[in-house]
Amino acid sequence: MQSLGIVFSELGDGYLRATMPVDARTHQPYGLLHGGASVALAETLGSSAGMLMAGGNAVVGLEINANHLRAVRSGIVTGTARPIHLGRSTQVWEIRIEDEAAKPVCISRITLSVLPQPPASGRA
């Protein structure tokens, strides 16, 4: 999150919001917002929102997709995650990323698995 400049900006009733700059850190070679950076913002938002709703359980991503709708060269994009399904074992979130004019840049959906405990870190 830190290396991409992602900052949580708002937690509301049924949504979580964050911003990300469109600059050299998030550009692809043509100077546009990199689709992978949009997906990183979407996954950060969806997973974080899912964790907040998991009642002390852990969440991990099962699948994420993204439709890139508009090119952005500079400024700030804002992502908003809203739940579609909040089940005992899975969650589905929609993340809408918009430019500074509130025009859609990317629509993403993430499916999360809800686990009774965090996965092992692999550390001894």
For the annotated catalytic residues, the residue numbers are 43
Q: How far apart are the first and last CA of the chain?
A: 26
**DSSP label at residue 12:** E
Of 50, 56, 24, 48, the C-alpha closest to 37 is 24
HSE-CB at 56 with a 13 A cutoff on CA atoms is 0
